[in-house]
Amino acid sequence: MKLVRFGKAGAEKPGLVDADGQIRDLSAVVADIAGDVLGRESLKRLKAIDPASLPLAPAGERLGACVGRVGNFIAVGLNYADHAAESGLAVPPEPVLFNKAPSCIVGPDDTILIPPGSEKTDWEAELAVVIGERASYVSEADALDYVAGYCICNDISERAYQIERSGQWMKGKGCPTFGPIGPWLVTTDEVDPGDLAMTLSVNGERMQHGSSATMVYKVPFLVHYISQFMILEPGDVITTGTPPGVGMGMKPPRYLKAGDRMEVSIAGLGIQRQVVAQG
Tell me the CATH number for domain 73-278.
3.90.850.10
How far apart, in Å, are the Cα atoms of 171 and each of 107, 157, 276? 21, 9, 20
Looking at residue 71, its pLDDT comes to 98
- Phi, then psi, of 229 in degrees rounded to 5: -115, -15
Nearest to 184 by CA among 116, 274, 107, 80: 107
Q: How do the pLDDT tens digits run along the chain, 279 residues long? A: 999 999 999 999 999 999 999 999 999 999 999 999 999 999 999 999 999 999 999 999 999 999 999 999 999 998 998 777 777 777 889 999 999 999 999 999 999 999 999 999 999 999 999 999 999 999 999 999 999 999 999 999 999 999 899 888 889 999 999 999 999 999 999 999 999 999 999 999 999 999 999 999 999 999 999 999 999 999 999 999 999 999 999 999 999 999 999 999 999 999 999 999 999
- Residue 79: exposure state from Cβ atoms within 10 A (0-12, 13-18, ≥19): buried
Looking at residue 168, its pLDDT comes to 85
How far apart, in Å, are the Cα atoms of 152 and each of 75, 91, 101, 171, 239? 13, 23, 17, 22, 9
237-239 and 73-77 strand pairing = parallel
> How is the chain split into domains, by residue range?
2-53, 73-278
End-to-end CA distance of the chain: 36
Please state whether the predicted TM-score (pTM) of the whole model is above 0.85.
Answer: yes
Looking at residue 88, its pLDDT comes to 77
Looking at residue 87, its pLDDT comes to 74
Helix extents (H) in the chain = 40-47, 81-86, 159, 219-226
